[in-house]
Amino acid sequence: MGEFYDQNLKLSVGNGKRILFWTDAWHNGRSLKEDYPRLYSLSTQKEESLLQISAKKSLGVWQFQFRRRLLAWEEEEVKRLSRFLETSPALKEEIEDSCSWLVDKSRKFSTSSVWCWWAAVKQSGVKVPAGVWDYMASPKMQFFCWLAWRGRVKTSSFLHRIGVFPANAVSQCVFCQSEEEALEHVFLFCPLVWNCWAAMVSWWDQSWVIPGSVEGLLKWWVVGKGKSWISRAWQAIPSLVLWSVWKLRNECLFKGVAPDFGGLSERMKVQIALWVKWFFKVDYSVHDLVSNLHQIRLNAGSLHKH
């Protein structure tokens, strides 16, 4: 939904007082923060308006302030940014900044237009694998699963492809350190992640062949649309795993946490068990659901159905 919003809100530059230089998508529809993440993280002017930063130009050259001296490749980024800004719109002192909402004819933003779009997306859900919108998962997990399905997760190779990362920046998988961090790798093929899927699958006494893509995974996973707690729990697994793996990846990358996939699999099983108890009020304990699922499903007589 955030993506839809960003794509359809167009800012018109006036005097630059209301537009935030780094954050707002005031030039070519993308924010500078998104396209120049390193410079943004180093900037001491994160909250400054376009007018404020523009006023510091010297002889027509943009001047930026950073919290430390830049490295050579960061200087290159500044050059890239300056070139990009050459085509930016000039400030118009007498006009206020404004924005228009492209979805509505009036060009004014309305919640109902977002709602209409949302309803249309949900209705065309035939194409979206069912697991994406699993209602037991939280909205942010559902949204993340949708991003992964669309191939829009910001992995290193995605960032390289759109030119955000310089070519020489490290882009290896943070878990195995041996392959490039591509979407399929980090979510499916990385041996550590693969083990994690295998743990979830064997928890349900299933055997599986590793699918070649996230879409293949979601399609394989959702066989039938049962309403019992057993099938609901099974269907909630993919969005939980995708989201949890990405969260762990970020903790490893940005906080230096060592990946513990054994612990991750256990935590995910507990999470599913908690959801089952919350949504379906089953009598089994969390411990039983995590440790004795095989027996529970035998009793429920549904071992061979999802």
Binding flag, residue 190, Zn ion (CB under 5 A) = yes
Q: Is 305 within 8 Å of 224 (Cβ atoms)?
A: yes
Closest CA to 225 of 130, 302, 141: 130
Distance between CA 183 and CA 213 in Å, rounded? 9
Instruction: Answer yes or no whether residue 274 interacts with Zn ion by CB under 5 A.
Output: no
CA distance 163 to 179: 19
270 lies in the site for Zn ion, by CB under 5 A? no
- C-beta closer to Zn ion: residue 101 or 165: 165
Rounded to 5 degrees, φ, ψ at 16 are 80, 10
Minimum CB distance to Zn ion smaller for 190 or for 245: 190
Rounded least distance, CB 190 to Zn ion, Å: 3
- Choose the stretch contacting Zn ion; rule: CB under 5 A; options: 2-10, 69-77, 160-168, 189-197: 189-197
Asked whether position 176 contacts Zn ion by CB under 5 A, the answer is yes
User: Site size for Zn ion, by CB under 5 A?
Assistant: 4
Q: 221-234 burial, b for 16+ CB within 10 Å, e for fewer? A: bbeeeeeebbbbbb
In the list 145, 173, 182, 222, the residue contacting Zn ion (rule: CB under 5 A) is 173
In the range 248-267, which residues lie near Zn ion by CB under 5 A? none
Of 264 and 289, CB closest to Zn ion = 264
The only residue of 26, 175, 229, 261 in contact with Zn ion, by rule CB under 5 A: 175
The 10 Å Cβ neighbour count of residue 294 is 13
Segment interacting with Zn ion, rule: CB under 5 A, options 83-91, 134-142, 185-193, 297-305: 185-193
Q: What is the Cα–Cα distance from 142 to 209, expressed in whole angstroms?
A: 24
CA gap 266, 202 in Å, rounded: 13
Residues that bind Zn ion (CB under 5 A): 173, 175-176, 190
